[in-house]
């Protein structure tokens, strides 16, 4: 099996040439040291750790999985050592404040490490990923005392974290939760309830697990308005900061899943003996607002998880296609003397590899741009710029999670097809990549929910300013492309679909606020697909603009790289954008069939 899980040259292109991440060093004291040399060193170290440590443990984690005995979960044999050396390398909270054990790294740079780490072993990476997210909640909403107790222990990996939202009767309807919080005289709360599908809810990697828990205080309003957020440790914390008494958080089961076997997906019982104590995190009845901070970050992480499976599948499929000798070249098919060639010479295999290449490149640029926008939203020199980039993060998050994971699963499936029958066999890597990737379309808000968020919230956010700012960025790339002779034709096609998206967005937004609201939301996922297509076209054009300006003076190896970027744009414009125009036609119809059909018309 190939050890190349990501395209280092393309990562460098996005980080240095497209986003110019080295310029972030001027924006914040924590970023000062992150010049090009340092960034390249970070990428190299992440790649080495991923390939040498994370990747070898991936198949073992898949085959061994997690086991539950007497309420204790045991992770795969290699994971404890892996977790320890991961934390020794200080990888867990690289973007967080040095005050609490982080490195203050720009998110744009950390994205490259995330790509390598998740591509090598994303079931393992769920443990530190959730810990960082939970710690970020404490950092943003915790009291000084809570920060002192929890943050450094979490950001250094000594303790881990989770996210406790889902319940058996609630699912995606968080407002229907039944977990209760009863106020105690000392200001703490007694928590009782059941949570399910909790990633990393119980394991043997750390001495304590910190659970941010959504619950309703007695007497609070129904629905999401009455939900508060609590910190509930597996073991209560002694005054000296050490883990103390068990806090009545019991693992009652682990799920046997299609994929991500190395991560424990748990059912947790809180307070079954009446002895689960939590402390309020943030304000009463403002739990959902706080939790959305973690959820939005988690959605970006899930986008990276899906994408990492896709880029790994692409690199494996490319290596396999280059080395798998089978069949004659189509032009020599009737020649009895012709020798067999690599399957990469077969037209349909080349089409599949090109499809993988184009989407991987476009999605990489999109995901890194979202992280760059997050850096700028926090550290841009003016409030106007901060607001603009924050708007980009808001609008693009459902695309980065929903559209990206949809396409990533398709890429993993295409990779399996390139392998042929071997792809379907567990001895080869494609089966696990496909299985692991599938969850990314479901958790942290299904992709249907992402589509509803895009249509119902993001189009009209701040009176439509973020979406208009985004169109403005697209138009800049289009104008630049039209000024480059070899790209002008493609830029005009991208302009056509961008203008059509604006028209369709207005139509869908109006339908969503009319008597056709149900029909509009029945078409929300196709709208997300079409919006994602246009976003891909923008990213690919932006990339091609840079490549075209550098192609003539590039070194020989880079000439092929830059020319390949331009070919990616050509392929997408000529083969995918016509499909996007078809999506737009369907969306303008806003079909009512899905809502009009009566329940009895489905099979009994």
Q: Cite the active site residues.
A: 444
Phi and psi for 77 in degrees, rounded to 5? Answer: -55, -40
Provide the CA 552 distance to its chain's centre, in angstroms.
36
Which whole-number Å values give the CA distances from 345 to 7, 317, 326, 329, 445, in the listed order?
A: 21, 14, 10, 6, 41
For 506-546, give the DSSP string. HHHHHHHTSTTHHHHHHTHHHHHHHHHHHHHHHHHHHHHHH
Distance CA 110, CA 46 (A): 9
Tokens of 67: 């086991």
For tokens 């034709």, what's the residue?
Answer: 489
Of 193, 200, 196, 199, nearest to 215 by C-alpha is: 193
Distance CA 216, CA 194 (A): 13
Phi and psi for 460 in degrees, rounded to 5? Answer: -100, 10
Distance CA 361, CA 352 (A): 14
Q: Which residues pair with 199 in a beta bridge?
A: 265
Of 93, 98, 1, 126, nearest to 55 by C-alpha is: 1
Of 155, 149, 105, nearest to 135 by C-alpha is: 155
Q: Which residues pair with 522 in a beta bridge?
A: none
Residue length, the chain? 604
Instruction: Say which DSSP state 164 is in.
Output: B
Tokens of 183: 């106020």
For 235-299, give the DSSP string. EEEPTTSSEEEE-SEEEEEE---SS-TTS-EEEEEESTTS--EEEE-SSTT-HHHHHHHHHHHHH
For 288-346, give the DSSP string. HHHHHHHHHHHHHHHHHHHHHHHHHHHHHHHHHHHH-EEEE-GGGTT-TTPPEEEGGGS
């Amino acid at each position: 099996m190939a050890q190349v899980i990501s395209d280092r040259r393309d990562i460098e292109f996005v980080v240095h040439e497209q986003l110019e991440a080295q310029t972030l060093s001027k924006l914040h004291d924590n970023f000062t040291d992150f010049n090009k040399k340092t960034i390249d060193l970070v990428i190299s170290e992440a790649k080495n750790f991923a390939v040498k440590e994370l990747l070898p443990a991936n198949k073992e984690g898949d085959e061994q999985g997690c086991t539950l005995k007497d309420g204790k979960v045991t992770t795969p044999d290699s994971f404890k050592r892996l977790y320890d050396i991961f934390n020794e390398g200080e990888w867990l909270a690289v973007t967080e404040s040095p005050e609490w054990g982080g490195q203050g790294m720009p998110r744009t740079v950390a994205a490259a490490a995330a790509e390598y780490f998740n591509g090598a072993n994303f079931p393992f990476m769920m443990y530190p990923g959730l810990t960082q997210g939970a710690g970020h909640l404490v950092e943003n909403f915790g009291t000084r005392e809570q920060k002192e107790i929890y943050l450094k222990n979490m950001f250094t990996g000594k303790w881990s974290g989770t996210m406790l939202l889902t319940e058996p009767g609630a699912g995606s309807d968080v407002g229907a939760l039944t977990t209760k919080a009863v106020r105690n005289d000392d200001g703490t709360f007694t928590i009782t309830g059941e949570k399910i599908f909790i990633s990393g809810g119980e394991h043997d990697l750390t001495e304590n697990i910190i659970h941010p828990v959504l619950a309703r205080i007695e007497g609070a309003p129904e629905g999401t308005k009455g939900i508060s957020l609590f910190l509930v440790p597996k073991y209560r914390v002694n005054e000296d900061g050490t883990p103390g008494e068990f806090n009545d958080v019991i693992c009652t089961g682990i799920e046997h899943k299609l994929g991500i076997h190395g991560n424990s997906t748990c059912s947790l019982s809180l307070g079954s003996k009446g002895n689960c104590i939590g402390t309020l995190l943030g304000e009463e009845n403002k739990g959902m607002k706080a939790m959305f901070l973690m959820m939005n970050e988690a959605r970006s992480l899930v986008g990276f998880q899906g994408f990492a499976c896709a880029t790994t599948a692409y690199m494996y499929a490319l290596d396999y296609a280059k080395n798998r000798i089978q069949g004659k070249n189509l032009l020599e098919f009737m020649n009895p003397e012709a020798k067999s060639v690599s399957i990469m010479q077969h037209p349909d295999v080349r089409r599949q590899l090109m499809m993988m290449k184009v989407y991987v490149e476009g999605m990489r640029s999109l995901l890194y741009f979202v992280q760059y926008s997050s850096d700028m939203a926090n550290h841009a020199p003016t409030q106007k710029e901060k607001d603009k980039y924050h708007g980009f993060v808001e609008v693009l998050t459902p695309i980065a999670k929903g559209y990206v994971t949809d396409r990533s699963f398709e890429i993993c499936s295409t990779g399996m097809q390139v392998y042929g029958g071997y792809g379907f066999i567990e001895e080869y890597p494609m089966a696990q990549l496909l299985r692991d990737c599938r969850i990314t379309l479901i958790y942290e808000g299904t992709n249907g929910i992402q589509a509803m968020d895009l249509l119902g919230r993001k189009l009209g956010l701040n009176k439509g300013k973020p979406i208009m700012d985004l169109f403005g960025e697209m138009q800049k790339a289009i104008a630049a492309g039209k000024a480059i002779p070899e790209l002008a034709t493609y830029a005009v096609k991208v302009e056509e679909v961008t203008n059509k998206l604006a028209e369709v967005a207005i139509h869908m937004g109006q339908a969503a606020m009319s008597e056709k609201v149900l029909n509009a939301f029945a078409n929300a996922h196709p709208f997300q697909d079409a919006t994602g297509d246009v976003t891909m076209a923008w990213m690919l054009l932006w990339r091609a603009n840079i490549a075209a300006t550098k192609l003539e003076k590039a070194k020989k190896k880079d000439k092929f790289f830059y020319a390949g970027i331009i070919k990616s744009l050509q392929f997408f414009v000529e083969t995918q954008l016509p499909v996007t125009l078809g999506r737009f036609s369907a969306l303008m119809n806003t079909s009512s069939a899905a809502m009009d059909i009566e329940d009895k018309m489905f099979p009994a």
